[in-house]
Structure 1
Amino acid sequence: MKRKFLWVLLAAVVVFSTGCGDSYEESSDSGSTSSFYQTDNTGWEEGNSFDYNEEKAAGVEEVSDASTEESGGLDGYDMSRKIVYTSNVSIESKKFDEDIASIQKLVNSSGGYFESTSQSGSLEYGNRYASFTARIPSRNYTDFMNSVGSIGSLTQKTENVEDITSSYVDVQARLKSLDKKLKRLQELEDNAETIEDLLAIEDRINSVQYDIENYTAQKRLYDDKVDYCTVSINVDEVATYSEVKKDTAWNRFAEAFTNSFAGFIAFLQWLVIAFIYALPYVLVAAVILIIVLIVTHKKRAALKNKKKEIKDNTQVKNQNKEYSGPKYSEDDN
């Protein structure tokens, strides 16, 4: 009982020495990072000299939601706007190889790199297609987008802007609070008097360190998204550029009719090609079918002739019985 009282007294000293305002109020958008932090409210069995209730009394409670004023404001936090840019660019190209080389050169000169690349189609048919995912430094993003639009014929460009400032600050605050929590646990670890106390504190330290690693990884991910914008580039090889038309009702009707007719022609072409592929099999099947029909016809003719012959023989026998002639007796003589 005396030892437990000493632990409570030591916990109270730690609480008042560190202040009750080191925890950070969970921001309203913490849902974006909640998957990286899991609270552990598991207590310890009765009889242990160090349990979860005493840990909270010692100021090592879970990351709570104290206001930023109580935690010393936002000093030490990076409060600059954290903007994530994601773009998609579609290009038609008459000079496919040259335009691909120009895109690669532009990405390299902008200080970026290719996250993924793919290419399909053939030079023979002139229907090649290339797709790139490039990461461009945010400081060069605007110049890059202006330059890439001058390659080939730009058919589509979309840009998405996402502000993750609040989520970024939330991660920073959680890391700061967890660092303070870790230091308090380490102080308690140095003053632990029993093996049970030491093991309990070490378990809590491991849990806090795990959370710190997760939030640090989340912060690095945010930094990467902010520092490098993501640009998807699609390049289609064409013989002539598509005509840019105004979006009117008549143009939409005409485009729908053209697409429908083109689809019908493509379907007919597919049927012809499919028939050519299937022609050898069709010929073999036709020969087999003809042979089967000939054999079947011969069998039916033979069977028919046989039935007719049997019928004729039967009729002849019947006639012989009927017209075999009169019989004369001796009395008639």
Structure 2
Amino acid sequence: MRVAIVCVVVLVALAGCFGTELTASDSDVGNMGPANPADAGAGQAQVSGEPSGLNASAQRSVVRTGIVHSQVPDFDAARENLTTTIRTQGGYVSDSTERTVGSTETRHTNGRVVYRVPAENFTAALDRVKREGTVIRSRTNTSDVTGQVADLNARLQNLRAQRNRTRTLYEQANDTEDVLAIGERLSSVQERIERLEARRQALTERVSYATLTVRLEEPTPTNDRPRAWYETGVVNAFLDAASGVVVAARATVVGTAYALPYLIAFGLPLLGLGALLRRWRD
């Protein structure tokens, strides 16, 4: 009796694994065709617990993401405005970071805010984010995960059927060793079911709520205050003085070059006239 029950448990496990792999392969084949994200609209198709009927098979599960990098006059004000808008649209803040950089005169704030927005409001939220400041760059992405959803649902269905059959054998087992063996197998199947349900729940969240990552940065202030002469460093002062000497010498040479023709034209006659006057006096 014990050997027969153990054999049946092994057959049930093999049947469940074979059914899961076969269903997963069928799902992959069905997902080989081109996926058109436009058919999914704003990604409103939700991940159902178990697909059934033609309407469920025709739904598309779409994950939408967007990244916007903008420059804003005031980081805190821009973040507050966007957060208020996203919350009115049914979204929430998933993550937020900020840092202040620069010296006292050039201090400014940069940061990043990750919003989760209902998929049907993704386009409106994206447009609102772009209007908040000057867009430096932006990018959006749409990913069709319909095949993954179908695969998870099929694998869960097979594992639950395997769990039910294993439970029946567990209830019928009388020998202690049989009970332990079947119980261990039942726990393994239940653990696999919980892992797949967690993956499906995470996928459901990604489909239902689009991810919008917003990077905000303030412009770097410029320090236009003139410095006093005593604020200049020693090395800079010496270099400035040396540069001044070079400029003065060059100006002297250039001025002499300009004046030389006039000296020749008017100076030589004057020198000659002076010499004649000295002779006449003598």
> Which TM bucket (shorter chain)?
0.5 to 0.7
Please list every run of at least 4 consecutive aligned residues from structure 1 whose deviation after the TM superposition is greater than 6 angstroms: none
RMSD of Structure 2 on Structure 1 (CA) = 3.1
- Hey, which of these two has a bigger chunk of helix by percent? 2
Correspondence 1:298-309 to 2 at 5 A: none
Q: Which residue of 1 aligns with 2:17?
A: 63
Correspondence 1:93-132 to 2 at 5 A: 93-121=72-100, 124-132=105-113
Q: Which residue of 2 aligns with 1:318?
A: none
Note the C-alpha offset of 1:94.
Answer: 2.1
For 1:167, which of 148, 171, 174 is the aligned residue?
A: 148
Identity %: 23
The structure, 1 or 2, with the larger RCO (C-alpha pairs under 8 Å, 6+ apart) is 2
8 Å Cα contact 2:95-2:114 kept in structure 1: yes
Q: Which residue of 1 aligns with 2:52?
A: 75
Q: Which residue of 1 aligns with 2:212?
A: 231
SS of 2:193's equivalent in the other structure is helix
Report the residue type matching 1:63 in the other structure: C
Q: Which structure 1 residue ranges, 5 or more long, are not aligned?
A: 5-47, 241-271, 277-333
8 Å Cα contact 1:49-1:197 kept in structure 2: no
Are 1:200 and 2:177 an aligned pair? no
Correspondence 1:1-333 to 2 at 5 A: 3=1, 48-51=3-6, 53-58=7-12, 61-64=15-18, 65-66=21-22, 75=52, 78-79=56-57, 80-121=59-100, 124-238=105-219
8 Å Cα contact 2:163-2:186 kept in structure 1: yes
8 Å Cα contact 2:66-2:140 kept in structure 1: yes
Report the residue type matching 2:17 in the other structure: V
Q: Which structure 2 residue ranges, 5 or more long, are not aligned?
A: 28-49, 222-231, 237-282
Note the C-alpha offset of 1:58.
Answer: 4.9
Q: 1:238 to 1:182 in 2, by over 3 A?
A: same
Following the alignment from structure 1 to structure 2, what is the Cα–Cα distance between the partners of residues 127 and 112? 28
Following the alignment from structure 2 to structure 1, what is the Cα–Cα distance between the partners of residues 140 and 166? 47
TM-score normalised to the size of structure 2?
Answer: 0.61
8 Å Cα contact 1:85-1:229 kept in structure 2: yes
Note the C-alpha offset of 1:86.
Answer: 1.5
Which of 1 and 2 has greater Rg?
1
Following the alignment from structure 2 to structure 1, what is the Cα–Cα distance between the partners of residues 64 and 200? 17
8 Å Cα contact 2:72-2:216 kept in structure 1: yes
8 Å Cα contact 1:60-1:184 kept in structure 2: no
Following the alignment from structure 1 to structure 2, what is the Cα–Cα distance between the partners of residues 135 and 100? 14
Report the residue type matching 2:191 in the other structure: Y
Per-residue CA deviation, residues 200-238 of structure 1 (Å, 9 max, x unaligned), is 111110010000110010011101111111111111112
Following the alignment from structure 1 to structure 2, what is the Cα–Cα distance between the partners of residues 132 and 179? 40
Following the alignment from structure 2 to structure 1, what is the Cα–Cα distance between the partners of residues 168 and 89? 49
TM-score normalised to the size of structure 1?
Answer: 0.52
8 Å Cα contact 2:91-2:115 kept in structure 1: yes
8 Å Cα contact 2:61-2:149 kept in structure 1: yes
SS of 2:149's equivalent in the other structure is helix
Following the alignment from structure 2 to structure 1, what is the Cα–Cα distance between the partners of residues 52 and 121? 30
SS of 2:108's equivalent in the other structure is coil
SS of 1:133's equivalent in the other structure is strand
Q: 1:197 to 1:96 in 2, by over 3 A?
A: closer
SS of 2:132's equivalent in the other structure is coil
